[in-house]
Amino acid sequence: PFYWMFVMATRPSAAYNSIPPTILPGGMLVENFQKVLDTIPFFQAMWNTILLCTTVTLAVLIISSLAGYAFAKFEFPGKNFLFICILLTMVIPPQLGLIPQYYLISQLGWLDTLLGAGVLFLLNPLGIFLMRQYISQSVPDELMEAAKLDGCSNFRIYWSIVLPIIKPAFATLGIIVFTLVWGEFLWQFTVLRDPSSYTLQVALASLNNAFRVDFGMLLSGVFWATVPLIVIFLIFNKWFISSITEGSIK
């Protein structure tokens, strides 16, 4: 699919429906991308998307690892009930909360801001579950007890012992969250109406014309919007594979 998208990005719009299908690249990659730049603020949207995804990913990693650490290694009243409640939110369709969430964001004055577009992703039930399971299996209680005997605080144990051990899970969750926020459309389309605040998904959606779609231009924009995701995956691929391998061994 990625190669076909690249081929279509180098061809005129008519090649999209050609029979037999076109399988060789053409020479219109730059021309089609120039059409994208003339139609939407592509690089501004790219920057907004990278900033949003990076900020949300870092926040989710911190929140999820701290919550997972607490659920895995601490005892407190209502722990299991709270954990189950967090997991149950995963079965609620996000569309059900669209109107009240929009109203709340509107009342807070966060419409047309990246804060409003990203705040709903900060509490990630999957991330908390993943971190809890990984910390429970990978961080021995004996190691934590030894650290406490040496005078380490709970936060020092988290920072110096837990975080280095859970790097593979960190990379896995980071890739999941980054790609999730990168590909999110419905919520971002709902709260971002000012072109200067558009993310890539919202900006690319504006390339669609009700009467005519230039597939060469559209797929050129989608192609260049996909490249950063591939780069991110290649950078963190080692830790991602390490997490899968360790899980299969255990």
Q: What is the pLDDT along the chain (250 residues), one digit of tens a residue?
A: 788 888 888 888 778 777 777 788 888 888 988 989 998 899 999 999 999 999 999 999 999 999 999 999 999 999 999 999 999 999 888 888 899 999 999 999 999 999 999 999 998 999 999 999 999 998 998 999 999 998 888 899 999 999 998 888 888 899 899 999 998 999 999 999 888 999 999 999 888 764 567 888 888 898 888 888 888 878 877 766 665 555 444 4
What is the rounded CA–CA span in Å between residue 116 and residue 212? 32
Q: In the prediction, which pLDDT does 49 show?
A: 95
Q: In the prediction, which pLDDT does 209 show?
A: 65
Out of 1.20.1250.20, 3.60.150.10, 1.10.630.10, 1.10.3720.10, which CATH number does the structure's domain 2-249 have?
Answer: 1.10.3720.10
Q: In the prediction, which pLDDT does 181 show?
A: 94
In the chain, what are the domain boundaries? 2-249
Measured in degrees and rounded to the nearest 5, phi and psi for residue 166 equal -95, 20
Q: In the prediction, which pLDDT does 248 show?
A: 44
